[in-house]
Amino acid sequence: MSSSIDVGGQVRWNDQGLVPVVVQQWDSLEVLMLAWMDEEALRRTLTTGRAVYWSRSRQSYWRKGDTSGHVQQVRGARLDCDGDTVLLQVDQVGVACHTGTRTCFDSIDLHPFVDPAAVMPGEEAS
């Protein structure tokens, strides 16, 4: 009988054994970043209260904040309907992005066309 918790049994891992993780600030609901986990990173994240990822570039585990101090305390974790994406809600200490911005999505705007007909009267299509 194994003493390990079966945290990954419901997850559909990709062909590299990874799953994408959307990381969201639990109270403001900002999307902070997207990262990747293998089964061990998910197990550590779900059992320790700290977010742990798999770094694809460094090919190693990466407990968020160990170097930067920008720790992520886990507040919730959900799996999507297909079992192939995790939504991790955290309390982010300091900034999430290694560039120094609060989220990893703060710098590059893709400037989409926003259909004025789809915007409610009185609203601004920013």
41 binds its own copies (CB under 8 A): no
4 binds its own copies (CB under 8 A): no
Total residues in contact with its own copies, by rule CB under 8 A? 51
7 binds its own copies (CB under 8 A): yes
124 binds its own copies (CB under 8 A): no
Write down the residue that tokens 């789809």 correspond to.
118
Phi, psi of 111 (to 5 degrees): 50, 60
Cα 20 off chain centre by? 8
Write down the residue that tokens 């919730």 correspond to.
76
Of positions 18, 37, 45, 53, contacts its own copies by CB under 8 A: 45
What mask of x and - would describe binding to its own copies in positions 61 to 100, judged by CB under 8 A? ------------xxxxxxxxxxx-xxx---x-----xxx-
Residue 21 near residue 8 (C-beta atoms within 8 A): no
Residue 26 near residue 96 (C-beta atoms within 8 A): no
Residue 112, both tokens: 């989409």
Least Cβ distance, residue 123 to its own copies (angstroms): 9
Of positions 18, 37, 41, 104, contacts its own copies by CB under 8 A: 104
